[in-house]
């Protein structure tokens, strides 16, 4: 697991830096800590969830094998994300210098990165799931049930952890504002109170309240 950790943390930090580039250098530097923290938190929570549900659905699986698969899964995820760093950084720098209005292309950048992370995470999970189940004689129905449950756990844990660790991207209008390092349970400037509402607002693209634009107490940065 030490080898996986040595690969996971730098790769996660690099991707976090690229995410913050769409906002400012300060965001990028903060993300050197926050994105590895996001990956680590999600790995710990999901590791417990994978073990409990895996042992329940397929008792033949060993807890040690599931823990090893979890460590390798998140290492695979961050390596895949690392391969996308040049694209993410290029887009972020372009958007940071061409923003038009308080939102710019924030919603587009957010949606793209959610897709990047979701696809990379699903690929990494599917690979480890296949390797893990290759040593058991579990039926296809139980194997598919484990995959679906683990995908759902990953989406819930990773998505909500990213909400608590905001801002990771940052809206253009908050440049120059005094934004906390971590916003936690604070609602977003649009009023979202969880990750899934943030996703919904990024697709529906509602405007921002005037008090947020003035930098009053609700001036936080979604995701």
Is 219 a residue whose pLDDT tops 50? Answer: no
Tokens describing residue 177 = 């504002």
| Peptide bond before residue 167 is cis, with ω within 30 degrees of 0 | yes
- Give residue 128's pLDDT: 92
Indicate the pLDDT class of residue 168, thresholds 50, 70 and 90.
very high
Is 220 a residue whose pLDDT tops 50? Answer: no
Averaged confidence pLDDT in the chain: 88
- Give residue 170's pLDDT: 87
Once rounded to an integer, what is the mean pLDDT over residues 184-196? Answer: 92
* Cβ atoms of 49 and 153 closer than 8 Å: yes
Indicate the pLDDT class of residue 4, thresholds 50, 70 and 90.
low
Q: Where in the chain are the domains?
A: 2-186
Is 1 a residue whose pLDDT tops 90? Answer: no
Instruction: Give tens-digit pLDDT for 106-153.
Output: 999 999 999 999 999 999 999 999 888 887 777 778 888 999 999 999
Q: How many Å from the N-terminal Cα to the C-terminal Cα in the chain?
A: 30
Kind and range of the H or E element at 90?
helix 85-98
- Give residue 212's pLDDT: 63
Once rounded to an integer, what is the mean pLDDT over residues 202-222? Answer: 63
């Amino acid at each position: 697991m030490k080898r996986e950790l040595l690969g996971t943390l730098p790769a996660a930090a690099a991707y976090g830096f690229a995410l913050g580039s769409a906002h400012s250098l300060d965001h990028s530097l903060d993300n050197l800590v926050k994105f590895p923290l996001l990956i680590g938190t999600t790995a710990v929570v999901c590791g417990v969830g994978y073990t409990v549900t895996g042992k329940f659905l397929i008792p033949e699986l060993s807890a040690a094998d599931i823990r090893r698969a979890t460590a390798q899964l998140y290492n695979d995820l961050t390596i895949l994300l690392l391969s996308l760093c040049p694209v993410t950084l290029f887009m972020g720098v372009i958007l940071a210098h061409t923003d038009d209005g308080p939102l710019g292309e924030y919603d587009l950048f957010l949606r793209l990165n959610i897709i990047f992370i979701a696809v990379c995470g699903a690929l990494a999970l599917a690979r480890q799931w296949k390797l893990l189940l290759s040593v058991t004689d579990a039926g296809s129905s139980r194997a598919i049930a484990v995959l679906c449950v683990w995908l759902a756990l990953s989406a819930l844990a990773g998505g909500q952890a990213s909400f608590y660790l905001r801002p990771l991207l940052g809206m253009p209008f908050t440049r120059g504002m005094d934004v906390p390092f971590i916003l936690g349970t604070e609602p977003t400037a649009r009023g979202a109170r969880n990750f899934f509402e943030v996703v919904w607002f990024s697709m529906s693209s509602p405007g921002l309240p005037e008090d947020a634009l003035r930098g009053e107490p609700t001036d936080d940065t979604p995701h």
